[in-house]
Amino acid sequence: MSTPIISGILLGTVGAAAYFSPHLIRKLEEAKLRKSCREQRSLVLTYDDGPGEKLTPRLLELLDSYQVSATFFLLGMRVQKYPRFVNRIAEAGHELGTHGYYHLNAWKVWPWLALNDIQLGYRTLGDAVSADSPFRPPYGKLVLPTWWALRLRRAPIGWWTVDSGDTNAQLPQSDEVVKKVKSAGGGVVLLHDFDRQGNQAGVRADFVLETTAALLEAALVENWKVQSLGRLLR
């Protein structure tokens, strides 16, 4: 076999490892997360891509009515647009995490751009978060450089066990999400609190609120502990 072919194979192998080994790590971490939720009988509500000027206040009011804490993975570009919500979320007793600045898919951009996006996300939140506050990868995608950068920060990666489906083309029913969590004995649920645009904006906002309320009602019946992701991981 010629040297160029061998070099090409080696480069391809290294490239594949850089992109897909974090995916394998994710699967292991998700399995551990499901186990922790089941053993601790816990429900963790997490919200991505916010804050939203309209939805986030309604959501905070709902969570406050149940006296529970959630985890918000804030997007830097929306924090810059609505900075007042950062303190409001934190003062309500919720955990703050980062979700990058531009919401870049690490599998579709150069690694240094994904790394910069992570750093910008933390920088935009400033003193509201620490260097080791949790990070949720946009689209759930990491590559080795971004995974390693988070390891160096000692920042937990905010995986989830149940996707609410609130960004799907076809919305599910709220009780379908509740059934998934019930069957697993608890879970970390992915939801979104940014303000949608278009004809279905109101429908999707209502779905997030209805699903949140349905899960919290189920927590009362099932005697689940409702806590932030950080508390679950600790």
Report the CATH number that the domain containing residue 114 is assigned in CATH. 3.20.20.370
pLDDT reported for residue 227: 97
pLDDT reported for residue 21: 59
With respect to residue 26, please indicate whether it lies within any of the assigned structural domains: yes
Alpha carbons 2 and 9: distance in angstroms, whole number:
11
With respect to residue 15, please indicate whether it lies within any of the assigned structural domains: no
With respect to residue 1, please indicate whether it lies within any of the assigned structural domains: no
Ranges in the chain, pLDDT < 50:
2-18
With respect to residue 133, please indicate whether it lies within any of the assigned structural domains: yes
Angstrom distances, CA of residue 210 to CA of 57, 58, 60, 147, 195: 15, 11, 13, 34, 16
With respect to residue 170, please indicate whether it lies within any of the assigned structural domains: yes
pLDDT reported for residue 24: 83
pLDDT reported for residue 23: 78
Residue 192 among the catalytic residues: yes
3 state SS of 161: coil
With respect to residue 8, please indicate whether it lies within any of the assigned structural domains: no
Mean pLDDT of the chain: 91
Q: What is the pTM of this model?
A: 0.91
Q: Which of 49, 117, 192, 193 is catalytic?
A: 192
pLDDT reported for residue 1: 52
Q: How many domains does the chain have?
A: 1
Q: Which of 48, 49, 166, 193 is catalytic?
A: 48
Domain assignment of residue 67, given as a range: 21-233
Residue 99 among the catalytic residues: no
